[in-house]
A and B are shown apart, each in its own frame.
Chain A
Amino acid sequence: MASQLSTKQVFWIVLAVVVAVLPQLYRLPLWFAPMMTVVIAYRFYVQVKHIKKAYNIILMMVAIAALLLIVYSQGFGLSREISVTILITMTVLKLLETYRQRDALLVVMLCYFVAMTRFLYSQDLVLVMYLLLSAWVTTHALAVINYQHGSAWFEKKQLKASIGWLAMALPFAVLFFLAFPRLGSPIWGSPDIFGEGKTGISDEMSPGSIIELFMDDSPAFRVTFGSNNKPENNQLYWRGPVLSEFDGRTWTRHEFRRSRGQVAYDRQAAIIEYGIEMEPNGRHYMFGLDVVLNAPQGSLMSPTSTLFSMNKVNQLKHYRLSSAVTDRLYQRLPQYQRKWLLDFPEGLNLQTQIMIKQWQATDDSAYGMINKALNWFRTEDYLYSYSPPALHSNEVIDEFLYESRRGFCEHFASTFVVMMRMAGLPARVVTGYQGGVDMGDYVLVKQSDAHAWAEVYIDQPDHELGGYWQRVDPTSVVSPERLFRGSGNIIEQRRSFFDFPWLRQTREHLDRYRFRWNQWVRDFNVSKQQALFDAIGIQHRDGKVLAVILLSVLAASGALIFSWLWWRQRPRYNNLQQWYLRFMDLFKKEPAIYARQSAGMEAVTHSIVEQYPGLKKSVNDFQQCYLRIRYRNEQLTPADRRRLQHFFERLKKDVKKRYHSQSRS
């Protein structure tokens, strides 16, 4: 009759389930949270009111209903989403029939699994820390199930057990992490079902689209420069998608498919090498500085000098680049492209057009135009602001230039490009990131560093490519600090309710650990593993060697633990008990007698005499001597030992004689 679980045990089991499920709640169907609440409430109701538990048939129906709901809300198939949802749902429903220790243990095991499935979606440091907590709660539930003592919520013994168990598991976890054979690509890593991280620079830019990124302090990527070749912060333009089509409000990408964009750079430009660790963004974009000289494996260089990954970046991605750091990008501009790049909405923004016409009258050169425009932004009353008034009219350019006068990079870049086009200069908007936080050994680029700037095509007939794209950042004119201090630090007002400087600094500080974590743990791949094992002299080219190592270490530690347990629980005998065991050893070959060892000396001698009456005298003599010493004197004096030895030798002789005579007959 197994005993029922106590309320405390139920509490811990439920807590373990809740903690394990919580980080996945956001991606579970809407009905899940209410269902879990009802299940838990019902389980506690049964516990407290001692009402009869539900019939199995009802539980079965509930389970089937839940399955149907899953199929209804997530479709039918064997995807990661559905498998994980089924696992979680059934774990929660299992609480309904968890009344005994056996079921409780099962739920606890399932909790470990549920917690682990969260890793299929992300392996971030913060998440790992949370899941460690979850592992502890689950382990503590295990301890509470196994050592039910008092009703206090925290018992020392249980606490000691759960922490001790986790500590014991730690070396194994490290071993498995280091030695478990790595797969080339994750089993579940199918990109189309990736669910997270869809933030970052996008294909489009319309008023207010970049502002969302300003709010987001999560890391976009991290850059490690070689020794001492990190450019100044205002040189760090991380080039992303280039937008060249404007419908009067929204900028979109236009790839000129036929162009084979041969790109050149100034001979004076510094060439630097650097490595990038990119957080998953669920898109194809990759980022690099100005003119990237080598497209890493698995990526393409577009004609607009943007790096594209062949696959969506759904996992932490590492790549190395070398770039020419320059604001001039030499490239041929075919005539048909030029037409595209001069396009702006006809008949709108007339006020701006008139102003441009006036400027053209005084100085028609390209740089003259650029300088006039920048001067205009600098001298007129324009403000860099994260909360500019919304632009409602069709004539966004006029409205911004003459009415609102407040905006951030996307307003300035967009307006500037349109102004250049009005002046007959091909121009385009480049999006990406600008700057980054210097973390010492790497530069952290956050989503909030998103930026937009302009490129204007300058004809240079004497150059073999006929001209170059000149980078112009109108924002830098309005707010030069933006380029030095990063977007987050130049505005007095808070971007959101939770935006405090100290919080931002703490997050930046935490990123240092995240970087290390990525370096040592998330990015521990096949080649790093091979390097590690090569370093300690174990050559392996497939997983078999590792599997053998793992299994043998496991077997050895298992043997060690079991022998230690055995050693700790071994029976310990005193001198007198040893004599009894010696006596029993004389009858080793008599299973009927030997099996009665635990019944004690008197019972054993009784059955010996019954079976072999010939031994009666010697057995009884030894027994009486022994009993007196053990239960009267309670200690073994040398004299006693001699007497005992005497009787023992006699008995031994008699027993041998008997065997002898038996074998002869």
Chain B
Amino acid sequence: MTTTQPQKPQKDNSVTAIELIIDCVSERILDKESAIRQVIAALLAGGHVLLEDRPGLGKTTLAASVAQVFGLDYNRIQLTSDMMPSDVLGVSIYHPEKQAFSYHKGPIFTQFLLADELNRATPKTQSALLEAMAENQVSMDGKTYPMDEVFFVMATQNPIDDSGTYSLPHSQLDRFLISLSLGYPSEAGERKIYSSTYLQSMKQPLPALSNAEQLLSWQQAVTRVHAAEEVLDYLQWLITQSRKHPHIQQGLSPRAGLGLFRMAQSQAFMAGRDFITPDDVTMSFYPVCRHRLLTDDGRLADEYIEEMLDSANLV
């Protein structure tokens, strides 16, 4: 897969601002610029992110950093197997003096939610969380409580073969726009972690370089990015390939297709363009497919995704 070819920054200062944000987060999460770009692209596209990795690779740091630089309210839930849906969504409590129930909002009411170790929670709790994610609101006792306009969930998950986990069903995985795996940093990058300046800087929060309002306007702008027929043909072709592939259990859903489209728009926006190029689609295809496509023997379909991209003809 080709990486982003940094476009010449245009007069539009949003590109500069976003580049600055990426640089800033990159100082915290060393050597992972492309992953950071994907997370931010998902945020701009208004989707949620699933981070899948072993512990200690900086998932939480990444989430906290992104929340800080965007200046968003940040909550973190550590999911465990004894957690109830109310621990996430909130509870109604009876007040004898008022003779009425009042609703206490749970940790989900925030702008940036880090749901750590999602697959440790029981399916009941998982589904409560994912439902709220999908509908952008919580229904409790016949009333609906809307979320903030900016609502971004970053869930982390231990690799699926870990013990004591409840793996998420396919239908719920589909609610995440993209999924990523950070992986180990390079040796040089890892060496920097031990430097004193880095450890010092870790203690200070990152500056808020943006705010919820600006994020919303960016999200609006992303939806306006132009897509040529030819690019849509390519996108459609990729989706069809995933459905026709003999070794893939289940092809991409229309929701996944829409996700791929939004991600491509977002990538184009970040590159300072107001139109999608095929490369935007190519770049977004892997993170969009990664958690959605499984081989017929249950493995990740990485090699087949690569194969589909390679067989495209983009003359």
Which residues on A are within 8 Å of B, measured CB to CB? 1, 571, 573, 577, 580-581, 597-603, 605-606, 609, 620, 624, 627-628, 630-632, 634
Contact = CB atoms under 8 A, between A and B. Distances in A.
Given A602-B279, A632-B274, A581 B315 contact: yes
A588 to B, nearest CB: 15
B315 A577 contact: yes
Nearest to B311: A598
A624 B230 CA distance: 17
A596 B226 CA distance: 26
Contacts of B261: none
B217 to A, nearest CB: 22
Contact of B315 (A580, A628, A632, A634): A580
Given A624-B7, A630-B230, A631-B228, A602 B315 contact: no
10 contacts: A573-B315, A599-B314, A600-B279, A603-B282, A609-B5, A631-B275, A631-B276, A634-B228, A634-B229, A634-B230
A571 B315 contact: yes
Interface string B1-14: 01101011000000
B154 interface: no
A509 to B, nearest CB: 58
B229 A602 contact: no
Given A630-B228, A631-B231, A598 B277 contact: no
A581 B314 CA distance: 11
A606 B5 contact: yes
B23 to A, nearest CB: 21
B251 interface: no
Interface in B206-245: 226, 228-231
Given A602-B2, A632-B226, 18 more contacts: A1-B246, A577-B315, A598-B312, A600-B279, A600-B312, A601-B277, A602-B5, A605-B5, A606-B5, A620-B5, A620-B8, A627-B273, A628-B273, A630-B230, A631-B231, A631-B276, A632-B274, A634-B229
B279 A632 contact: no
Nearest to A580: B315
A455 B269 CA distance: 115
Nearest to A623: B5
B230 A631 contact: yes
Interface residues of B, number: 24
B197 interface: no
Nearest to B310: A599
Contacts of A571: 315
A602 B277 contact: yes
Specify which of A573, A599, A606, A624 lies most central, judged by the most chain B CB atoms within 10 Å of its CB.
Answer: A599
Contacts of B2: 599, 602-603, 606
B132 to A, nearest CB: 37
B313 interface: yes
B278 interface: yes
Given A1-B246, A632-B228, A602 B274 contact: no
Nearest to B228: A631
A562 B157 CA distance: 56
Specify which of B2, B3, B231, B282 lies most central, judged by the most chain A CB atoms within 10 Å of its CB.
Answer: B2
Given A603-B2, A606-B2, A624-B8, A598 B315 contact: yes
Interface in B1-31: 2-3, 5, 7-8
A598 B226 contact: no
B229 to A, nearest CB: 7
A609 B228 CA distance: 26
Contacts of A573: 315
Contacts of A634: 228-230
A650 to B, nearest CB: 16
Contacts of B312: 598-600
B277 A631 contact: yes
A624 B8 CA distance: 9
A296 B187 CA distance: 104
A634 B276 CA distance: 12
Nearest to A603: B2
A71 to B, nearest CB: 47
A198 to B, nearest CB: 60
Contact of B314 (A600, A620, A624): A600
Contacts of A600: 278-279, 282, 312, 314-315
A600 B3 CA distance: 14
Contacts of A597: 315
Contacts of A631: 226, 228, 230-231, 275-278
Given A606-B2, A632-B226, A632-B228, A601 B314 contact: yes
B234 to A, nearest CB: 9
A609 B274 CA distance: 24
A158 B274 CA distance: 48
Contacts of A581: 315
A603 B281 CA distance: 12
Nearest to A627: B277
Interface string B262-297: 000000000001111111001000000000000000
A339 B2 CA distance: 114
Contacts of A601: 277, 314
Contacts of B277: 601-602, 627, 631
Nearest to A621: B8
Nearest to A577: B315
A113 to B, nearest CB: 35
Contacts of B278: 600, 602, 631
Contacts of B315: 571, 573, 577, 580-581, 597-598, 600
A580 B226 CA distance: 21
A621 B2 CA distance: 19
Contact of B275 (A577, A598, A605, A628): A628
A599 to B, nearest CB: 6
A632 B314 contact: no
Report, nearest first, the 3 A-B pairs whose CB atoms are least far apart: A600-B314, A602-B279, A632-B275
B161 to A, nearest CB: 28
A64 to B, nearest CB: 38
Nearest to A626: B277
Contacts of B276: 631
Contact of A598 (B229, B230, B314): B314
A578 to B, nearest CB: 10
A1 B277 CA distance: 36
Specify which of A1, A577, A609, A634 lies most central, judged by the most chain B CB atoms within 10 Å of its CB.
Answer: A634
A167 to B, nearest CB: 34
A571 B314 CA distance: 13
A634 B7 CA distance: 20
B228 A598 contact: no
Contacts of A605: 5
A48 to B, nearest CB: 26
Contacts of A624: 7-8
B204 to A, nearest CB: 36
A539 to B, nearest CB: 54
Contacts of B246: 1
Contacts of A1: 246
A293 to B, nearest CB: 81
A24 to B, nearest CB: 43
Interface in B296-314: 310, 312-314
A630 B228 CA distance: 8
Specify which of B8, B228, B246, B277 lies most central, judged by the most chain A CB atoms within 10 Å of its CB.
Answer: B277
A508 to B, nearest CB: 62
A577 B230 CA distance: 11
Nearest to A634: B228
Nearest to B7: A624
A602 B268 CA distance: 13
Contacts of B275: 627-628, 631-632
A630 B234 CA distance: 14
A354 to B, nearest CB: 100
